């Protein structure tokens, strides 16, 4: 068996996964969610933070960590732009990709 054979199958799997994503994108846009004030304020602070340092060489883990921080900042942007405060919570419509990023981080 060729060492690359599984990766050829994985590439085919990715193609199918992308096609599913295209199908789902037509069906699902944003999801209304509620977040506590402290979580919402932390997300907004991540958006408001200036990240001006250049990114040097980084490990895979560091790259994933930076990506998670970017996902948090985008949630903060959504809260800033369209969040509606309801007592000690904020209600905001998030893109399903942002919801998925948060759920992935939880696991």
pLDDT of 22-38, one tens digit each? 998 888 889 999 999 99
Residue 57 burial by Cβ neighbours in a 10 Å radius (0-12, 13-18, 19+): exposed
Q: In the block, which residue shows the tokens 């199908």?
A: 23
pLDDT, residue 9, reads: 93
Owning domain of residue 58: 29-106
Q: Is residue 48, in this structure, part of any structural domain at all?
A: yes
CB atoms within 10 A of CB 9: 10
Q: Is residue 93, in this structure, part of any structural domain at all?
A: yes
Report d(CA 57, CA 62) in Å as an integer.
9
Q: Is residue 7, in this structure, part of any structural domain at all?
A: no
Q: How many domains does the chain have?
A: 1
pTM of the model as a whole: 0.80
Q: Is residue 47, in this structure, part of any structural domain at all?
A: yes
H or E segment and range at residue 39 = helix 37-48
CB atoms within 10 A of CB 105: 12
């Amino acid at each position: 068996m060729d060492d690359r054979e599984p990766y050829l199958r994985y590439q085919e799997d990715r193609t199918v996964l992308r096609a599913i994503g295209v199908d789902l994108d037509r069906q699902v846009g944003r999801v209304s969610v509620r977040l506590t004030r402290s979580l919402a304020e932390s997300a907004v602070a991540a958006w408001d933070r200036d990240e001006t340092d250049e990114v040097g060489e980084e490990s895979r883990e560091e790259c994933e960590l930076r990506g998670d921080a970017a996902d948090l900042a985008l949630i903060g942007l959504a809260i800033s732009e369209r969040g509606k405060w309801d007592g000690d919570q904020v209600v905001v419509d998030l893109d399903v990709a942002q919801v998925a990023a948060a759920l992935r981080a939880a696991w």
